Structure 1
């Protein structure tokens, strides 16, 4: 661990402080640093492509009018903003049964989906009525239409990757509350300490600049980015300039199709690149 002015500039993964973050910190620090680095290296404004949590980070940043001047445009695939109507049996049951909170109380700061503790809790969830984990990926993402078994095998060799347990708690709070808010410490004094108010501040999607070029694509079979939740996001964007917002709907697509679908190059990425070329 290096030190600068008495503060750590590097923290090892086996230390709890390494995992003391949620997507709030990705909005405040990681995404701005990434885009600044790209700009410093290229001297250009990049296009942004986000999938799932990557869209939430971008949308939350845009709602605070951050980064907008550093981007040419943004593509949001399987957008995650409102998640209160999520239909994923695994994600919904994990949130309703405070799975992430249980791991946190057990002292597990790293949420590793491949770890023994998480696997044990997932097995318990899979035993619950209405939860079929025979196909774990589809049980989590929705019924993907266009995945080859070979690409799924490659995916599962490397994914899902670990995140912080605190981040999983934050997402679970969003699922239960149906709001887009900063992390809730479930303690008025702690919230006041971090935010200066008893409740965590909301991210306001209606404050996203109306002239920011956005390409948004969502799927009818997506159990994580549910159609009804996406409609709430689109309602927030109703005042967006007409020529700055392109919305694509794929009735057959679920969450993983957007990154691994065998026809994604043709039906998704070709129109996405055409959109970028216009910006």
Structure 2
């Protein structure tokens, strides 16, 4: 359960009768909530401190190679059971990439992926696209900002640079980033802002910017360093057609989502066209944007009830 610059508390922002984490627990599931490395509850390291430059030298490639497999294995070791995985946004990207590499699928029963992201080439978010097109994250990285703290100097410079670009309206930042969410109330947004956003690595933002510009789901592009890192001039691609056809998947996406754009989702679906028909559930909500899937007042009946019905069949 991962999202860029957010931690696991995202799943607990809604009241207990509407929060997916509580709903799952009330329906007999043992719920484990993951936190992305670098956020408040995931700052530990065996040898490095968050004050160390090297601590932040990672992108979502490392979440795929290390963090998600370690999480799956830990939960399996503790419970003795296979896992139903729920991811949103970055949590779906990491999952798709891991599934394409057959990582830890032996520990997985099914996956529900909300606002699914594998491709970002057609993403319309004005903030994210302008930042990518103007290499804002790369400029911060080159200026030796390794930690991207949304409340720190790097983020202020980031927003200044993006919001000064023609055609970018930063009056309503959440909408400019996620799309116009249909179903958030102001009190939920206030609670969200009390806890989020949180730090990520600047290198992670560079990697996402590469995806936006290139339209590919590939490993981090080190440019002249690709031969050293990968033994080839271009970064390896995560092959979505390698996701096992019999893996039970529930995908829910929204027509107003400015990050998980419908055209990009359809590109993903083209890669899953041979997926077993009884193992793939697609749900489309025309009015939903990115945050509605985790903070929307109507998400319980619109998304979570069908999601739990899917889990019960697996």
Cα distance between partner residues in 1 of 2:220 and 2:161: 27
Deviations 1:136-155 (A, max 9, x none): 00100000000000000111
Q: Give runs of ≥4 in structure 1 deviating > 3 Å.
A: none
Deviates more, 1:148-157 or 1:211-220: 148-157
Counterpart in 2 of 1:54? Answer: 91
The structure 2 residue matched to 1:44, chosen from 81, 85, 89, is 81
Residue 117 of structure 1: how far off its partner (Å)? 2.5
Which residue of structure 1 lines up, in the alignment, with residue 159 of structure 2? Answer: 122
Equivalent residue, structure 1, for 2:264: 229
Q: Distance in 1 between matches of 2:197 and 2:223?
A: 28
Q: CA deviation at 1:111?
A: 1.0
Q: CA deviation at 1:129?
A: 1.9
What is the TM-score normalised by the length of structure 1?
A: 0.95
Gaps of 5+ in 1: 1-7
Question: Contact between 2:257 and 2:290, CA under 8 Å: does it hold in 1?
Answer: yes
Aligned residues: 270
CA distance, structure 2, for counterparts of residue 117 and residue 266 of structure 1 = 39
Q: How does 1:68-217 map to 2 (within 5 A)?
A: 68-187=105-224, 190-217=225-252
Taking the aligned partners of 2:162 and 2:171, their CA distance within structure 1 comes to 12
Deviation by residue 1:196-254 (Cα, 9 ceiling, x = unmatched): 11110000001100000000000000000000000000110000000000000000000
Residues 258-269 of structure 1 aligned to structure 2 (within 5 Å): 258-269=293-304
Distance 2:194 2:134 in 1: 28
Unpaired runs of at least 5, structure 2: 1-44
State the Cα deviation string for residues 149-182 of structure 1 (Å, max 9, x = none).
Answer: 0000111121111111111100000000000110
Q: Secondary structure at the match of 1:231?
A: helix
Q: Secondary structure at the match of 2:223?
A: coil
- The CA RMSD over aligned residues, in Å, is 1.0
Counterpart CA distance in 2 for 1:155 and 1:10 is 32
Shift of 1:121: 2.7
Deviation at 1:39, TM superposition (A): 0.5
Local SS of the residue matching 1:216: strand
The equivalent residue for 1:271 is: 306
